[in-house]
Structure 1
């Protein structure tokens, strides 16, 4: 019962925030929340203004192999990566995200994530589904200095110093 109430509250909060939706983030946000199975998310900016960014996603986050996958653009925007700093190379199936001096590269099917050119191993790979790339949220968020927590079907990503 509590889980259903938490999900309903998260959904209603995100829906309410959609009414005051802002543009695409341009600076690192304090935190972002994604709810598994719902196509909405919200974030808190450094000015502590609660916003919903692209509140209505066209796909939903999901869990596979014990990892939470979020569509690349929505994960990036929620963290604060500017639209111009989210790049997809079709030929190599590589995603590159850049923000505040950190560059993260991931390739579909590869367990290696490159953070500022240095390789790190993940236990899962980015996935390509129905023409969309989904990234393992934890690895990407941590590469940008965030911490990740899970509560029921909510994935919370936050900057530890705030």
Structure 2
């Protein structure tokens, strides 16, 4: 119960700050709010907040916040058809608005429109689910990422 109240309070604070700054209505894509340890997230689509359930929770490892790939992608505005997983190479490909991001489980190198970039951590495969480092993926799509204990807040530039 306390975690749920913390999530609601953090979400409301983040939405209030975004509205005060004028960023939500003008954002090119939804703003996403993930809470470490909780299986729910929220995002804003044309000014309408909604809560969504995940089957796994984001976590912190090696100083980075990891979010399940599919939910991170949806929170950023990536369409379901543009989230692809290649089991053989263990590679995730995300595409949105002319930007393609490829990440491979266990590799610190990821590709943005074919150009290699380095991360200080790798995507992880846990219990059959791929978790991506939220900051690197969101920034590759042009988002700003903010850490507000206990939320990971992703806002459009």
Q: TM-score, normalised by structure 2?
A: 0.84
Q: Quick check: which one's helix share is greater?
A: 2
Q: Name the counterpart of 2:19.
A: none
- What secondary structure does 1:37 align onto? coil
Q: Which runs of 5+ in 1 are unaligned?
A: 14-27
Note the 1:25-104 alignment, pairs <5 A.
29-45=29-45, 47-52=46-51, 55-104=52-101
The match for 2:130 among 107, 118, 133 is 133
CA contact (8 A) 1:29 1:43 kept: no
Q: Distance in 2 between matches of 1:68 and 1:48?
A: 26
Note the 1:90-129 alignment, pairs <5 A.
90-129=87-126
Q: Which runs of 5+ in 2 are unaligned?
A: 14-27
User: Residue by residue, what CA displacement relative to the aligned partner does 1:49-98 show, whole Å, maximum 9, x if unpaired?
Assistant: 2223xx11000000000000000000000000000000000000000000
CA contact (8 A) 1:108 1:128 kept: yes
Matched length: 142
Q: Distance in 2 between matches of 1:12 and 1:117?
A: 38
Q: Distance in 2 between matches of 1:6 and 1:82?
A: 29
